[in-house]
Amino acid sequence: MHVAIIGGGIGGLVTALYLHREGIGCRIYESVPEFKPLGVGINLFPHAIRRLYELGLGDGLAAVGVEANEFTWFNQHGQLIYSEPCGRHAGYNWPHFSFHRADLHSVLLAAVKHRLGDDAVVLGHKCSGVDQDERGVKVKFTDTASGAPLPAAAADVAIGCDGFHSAVRRQFHPDEGPAQFGGINLWRGVTRGKPFLTGASVTRCGPLKDGKLVVYAVRNHDDGTQTINWAAEVQKGSWTENDWNKHGRLEDFIGYFERRRFDWLDIPDLLQRSEFVLEYPMVDRDPVDRWSFGRVTLLGDAAHPMYPRGGNGGAQSILDAELISGLLKKIPDPVAALKAYEADRLPKTAKIVLTNRSTPPDTIIETVEELTGGKPFKRLEDVISREKLVQISESYKQVAAWDIASVNRAAV
């Protein structure tokens, strides 16, 4: 069996590692001619980290990531609403890591090349579509730089791991139309500075209507400073197409955060000293009813693009990768294996896509905002009970499949 993996992001690389572990040959075809660091952070929770540890990547990840120890939620006045431990500090058997994306990608890519060989990743190959018959698949490419056609790749199975703007998804769902915009714009960046709070806190501050900030450290430096990732979310009526590398302007959103100088973090200073500013709209797509078409299927953002809330898009691509590889090993007929993969993963991820729209973890801040009318509170317990806050936090974990019981149920 040979599998063509289209796209070398988190989903494609982890799929290659799992297929290799199952003894299934594969090759990744990636459109970019060269991988360049994307300077934003990513959180991986224990449900995803568990899989990467099982793939033998634990030491590599621990060397580059910041092991988070708590989640914190603040209102726009800098008052703590709720905090809870995370990862091993909360009783999970695996850590929660915050990464610089480039670091996570490098660990995954190095493992693929080390285990499968340098030629397992082919760059500059932009997939333009797939053809198939009962005997196999042909993946068609153009040269990314010149646009010239390249020889097609033959395989038994093709997996479209080609992200939000997936060409494979477009082929099978040609009438899907544009992405669905959630009325929110995101600006992101990284700033080097002194650790804030515990130095390992994944923090959210402020309600959406007044500007929300998500902030966490992604790299520790020898001089005691950290690279701190931030993402500012502001409501907006219009959007331009999502592109990981689109540059943004500080003046378009800093106004929302100018008064947020707290004893635990000076937010305007953090934003002003950012190494760069990137811009990204909050977009997703409605869940589709099919991912698998004969010998071809979708995985990761190509299959279930979701709002980046609750740190789950990349994680779900890792869960997809584990399942599809196991099924391709177990079920001799690849068409049946891809159907079984879809039957398991499609409904689960569709639920997350919809929950990320309606009740993401930020609901904690929004609920308190409503109860206080946006004013500072004197005593939080007069506004909302601890039990209610715990309940909001736990309900998202159940949907996202990262509650402690489900994650720890797996063997250590």
Ligand X SMILES: Cc1cc2nc3c(=O)[nH]c(=O)nc-3n(C[C@H](O)[C@H](O)[C@H](O)COP(=O)(O)OP(=O)(O)OC[C@H]3O[C@@H](n4cnc5c(N)ncnc54)[C@H](O)[C@@H]3O)c2cc1C
Min dist. Cβ of residue 22 to ligand X (A)? 19
Q: At what angle do helices 313-330 and 46-54 cross, to 10 degrees?
A: 40
Q: Give yes or no for residue 182 binding ligand X (CB under 6 A).
A: no
CA distance 295 to 334: 6
CA-wise closest residue to 244 among 204, 168, 313, 188: 188
Answer for which of 292, 317, 349, 372 binds ligand X (CB under 6 A) is 317
Q: Give yes or no for residue 311 binding ligand X (CB under 6 A).
A: yes
Min dist. Cβ of residue 71 to ligand X (A)? 12
Q: Are strands 41-44 and 125-133 parallel, antiparallel or unpaired?
A: unpaired
The pair of structure tokens assigned to 99 is: 């990464």
Q: Give yes or no for residue 127 binding ligand X (CB under 6 A).
A: yes
Q: Are strands 2-6 and 25-29 parallel, antiparallel or unpaired?
A: parallel
Answer for which of 27, 188, 204, 345 binds ligand X (CB under 6 A) is 188
Q: Quick one: 162 or 372, whose CB is closer to ligand X?
A: 162
CA distance 359 to 354: 8
Q: Give yes or no for residue 315 binding ligand X (CB under 6 A).
A: yes
Q: Is 168 exposed, middle or buried (0-12, 13-18, 19+ CB in 10 A)?
A: buried
Q: Give yes or no for residue 9 binding ligand X (CB under 6 A).
A: yes
Min dist. Cβ of residue 40 to ligand X (A)? 6
Q: Say how far residue 39 (Cα) sits from the centre of its chain.
A: 14
Answer for which of 4, 6, 137, 327 binds ligand X (CB under 6 A) is 6
Q: Give yes or no for residue 8 binding ligand X (CB under 6 A).
A: yes
3-state secondary structure of 288: coil
Identify whether the C-beta of residue 233 lies closer than 8 Å to the C-beta of residue 211: yes
Q: Give yes or no for residue 218 binding ligand X (CB under 6 A).
A: no
Min dist. Cβ of residue 32 to ligand X (A)? 5
Determine the length of the chain.
412
Residues 158-177 that bind ligand X (CB under 6 A): 161-164, 167
Answer for which of 312, 325, 349, 367 binds ligand X (CB under 6 A) is 312
Which of the stretches 3-11, 87-95, 361-369, 378-386 binds ligand X when contact is defined by CB under 6 A? 3-11
CA angle 101, 52, 352 (to 5 degrees): 75
**Number of residues this chain uses to bind ligand X (CB under 6 A):** 36
CA distance 108 to 114: 10
Answer for which of 3, 12, 81, 298 binds ligand X (CB under 6 A) is 12
Q: How many CA atoms lie within 13 A of 283 on its CB side?
A: 20
Q: Quick one: 44 or 111, whose CB is closer to ligand X?
A: 44
Min dist. Cβ of residue 231 to ligand X (A)? 6
Q: Give yes or no for residue 308 binding ligand X (CB under 6 A).
A: yes
Identify whether the C-beta of residue 277 lies closer than 8 Å to the C-beta of residue 248: yes
3-state secondary structure of 108: helix
Q: Give yes or no for residue 322 binding ligand X (CB under 6 A).
A: no
Q: Give yes or no for residue 283 binding ligand X (CB under 6 A).
A: no
CA distance 208 to 370: 12
Q: Give yes or no for residue 55 binding ligand X (CB under 6 A).
A: no
Residues near ligand X (CB under 6 A) are 6-12, 29-32, 40, 42-44, 126-127, 161-164, 167, 186, 188, 231, 280, 300-302, 308, 311-315, 317
